[in-house]
A and B are shown apart, each in its own frame.
Chain A
């Protein structure tokens, strides 16, 4: 097959994809935005830091070490481009920027392993300094040995809520409260699916044990009311409605907020991949077949950037996508069936997590008008509702044109989901009807002083 294969990302999916390609004698180009490999989940600490794998990755330390060792072993057999952003994809070419230099690379096959970011539901006051995503709170600790504050509230739902809380407790941070919007009943009803991977379920339960032992207050079935504070000094407290309906306030100087994850799909979008509305996750996802083939010939999607199934699944789907790419290139590949079967088990477990920690869509219609939806440009739910009411805009891109929700520097990563819910509720239409924000290049801000990088001599 043609040798020009590019892998984007060096998290679990990207590393295993690159590894499969190298095993077959290919020399892929591996592009990663990070300074070091590992992605977010197995993010490596900076050079010179001394914490052990056990401290950094807990029960996942063996997996993290294995992934890092695998990637180290690939060096010299791949063309590795760290600290490099893919800011656009056109027909058979990726457009790269690193520092202030840009270049274009052509490909025959592209495997996008773009990972995920936190899925966010706004709450009044979440723009105050001191509110971070749950993933961000974890990065502060894992990558820099810091807590986001001296009294931290963790709020939202999803496995990350309990993982970050437990990691903070173990690291000696002061966790003032954990507010989970999902209920114990939802957790119990998800058990049959979660039993698809008993070991993972056991790890989740162990995290609860860590919190209980540290006497961290955990409240389930809450509805966030407000992150209190001031524009000048930031967060001062969190107020929620407890499951009983009683309002409850906790003082804090930092909040970690998140509702499970959403795939980073901008690159798949720019590559022209078809998307469809996924009822199970209530979000638009790029269409892929069982092995990760997108609707565009030569483009493959793997890991949490395609489907939120977690790191272990990402290792499998990354390898599987690479095998699919090689198969399409005329190479003989083995092991497809086993990987597909394993991924089905992870899919079942992922469905269990969604049932245990559901996205609280109903909160969007309950947001007070003054709540900021778009953090980038401080646009409120009331303004978005006014646009829907007065212009009749019911489609996400049209409502964006009138309201600017989704037009800011994050390009809708953190407001698009909730924004669509606000539009759907205000227009009384199903969420699928609102559609999704189109991806726009550049996917992240670029310096205006770009210099073309000279081709290295062959």
Chain B
């Protein structure tokens, strides 16, 4: 799966690996979690209101449209959280029940 964001500069940074929905993905040291995710995936989360996938909006901590879950159940605002090697992120809600919990 190709990413949504395109890296145009600062491409010499050290690569790190994170896990996204169980799949190992490459990111770079200094990325925000949002950039780490969206350079290898197209979306960040499911809207709780049934209108589909979301990928953030304002990138400055104002819109709250980029909150993702860690596989431990912690919630992170992706645009203001620095990525760290080994992070495990869940971007999709469960298909079971009413689908309000992240898919572990």
Give A residues with C-beta under 8 Å from B: 33, 35, 40, 45-51, 55, 117-118, 127-133, 135-137, 139-141, 143-150, 171-173, 230-234, 253-254, 264, 372, 375-378, 408-410, 413-414, 444-445
Please state if B5 and A375 are interface contacts (CB–CB under 8 Å).
no
Residues in B neighbouring A148, C-beta threshold 8 A? 4-5
Please state if A140 and B61 are interface contacts (CB–CB under 8 Å).
no
**How long is the Cα–Cα vector from A333 to B56 in the complex, in angstroms?**
45
Residues in A neighbouring B44, C-beta threshold 8 A? 129
| Complex interface residues of chain B between 38 and 82 (CB less than 8 A to chain A) | 39, 42-44, 47, 49-65, 67, 77, 79, 82
User: Within the complex, what minimum Cβ distance (angstroms) separates B44 from chain A?
Assistant: 8
Interface string of B6-33 (1 = CB under 8 A from A): 1111111100000000000000011110
Residues in B neighbouring A408, C-beta threshold 8 A? 64
Known: A129-B52, A377-B49. A135 touches B35 (CB 8 A): no
Residues in B neighbouring A137, C-beta threshold 8 A? 59
**How long is the Cα–Cα vector from A376 to B43 in the complex, in angstroms?**
16
User: Within the complex, what minimum Cβ distance (angstroms) separates A345 from chain B?
Assistant: 29
Q: Would you call the interface of chain B mostly helix, strand, loop, or mixed?
A: loop
Give the residue name and chain of the A residue nearest to B29 (CB): A48
**How long is the Cα–Cα vector from A231 to B55 in the complex, in angstroms?**
11
Please state if A232 and B52 are interface contacts (CB–CB under 8 Å).
yes
User: Within the complex, what minimum Cβ distance (angstroms) separates B25 from chain A?
Assistant: 15
Please state if A51 and B9 are interface contacts (CB–CB under 8 Å).
yes
Q: Would you call the interface of chain A mostly helix, strand, loop, or mixed?
A: loop
**How many chain-B residues does the 8 Å CB contact rule pick out?**
41
Known: A51-B10, A173-B6. A144 touches B31 (CB 8 A): yes
Please state if B4 and A129 are interface contacts (CB–CB under 8 Å).
yes
Please state if A140 and B59 are interface contacts (CB–CB under 8 Å).
yes
Residues in B neighbouring A140, C-beta threshold 8 A? 5, 35, 59
Residues in B neighbouring A133, C-beta threshold 8 A? 57-59, 63
**How long is the Cα–Cα vector from A49 to B9 in the complex, in angstroms?**
9
Residues in B neighbouring A49, C-beta threshold 8 A? 10, 13, 30
Residues in A neighbouring B7, C-beta threshold 8 A? 145-146
Residues in A neighbouring B65, C-beta threshold 8 A? 375-376, 409-410
Residues in A neighbouring B52, C-beta threshold 8 A? 127-129, 230-232
Question: When the two chains form the complex, which single residue of A136, A147, A171, A234 contacts B57, counting CB atoms closer than 8 Å?
Answer: A136
**Which 4 residue pairs across A and B have the least CB separation, nearest first?**
A231-B52, A145-B9, A409-B64, A129-B55
